[in-house]
Amino acid sequence: MGRFKKIYQQGTIDVIEIWVDTETGVNYIFHRNGNAAGFTVLVDKDGKPVITK
């Protein structure tokens, strides 16, 4: 545990969160609405992964 750190959260039922991989700096977006959820790499306008330094 501890590899991923949540840096942003919005909502309670319709939830959006941004997580950072502390080893690589890659940002991920998590979205949950009811029983459905998804977790994927967050990309910029050019389709490249967003990286936190």
Residue owning tokens 């959006």: 16
Q: What is the pTM of this model?
A: 0.88
Report the distance separating Cα 15 and Cα 24, nearest Å: 24
Residue 48 DSSP label: P
With CA atoms as reference, report the closest residue to 40 among 14, 53, 50, 3.
50
Q: Tell me: the pLDDT tens digits for 19-50?
A: 999 999 999 999 999 999 999 999 999 999 99
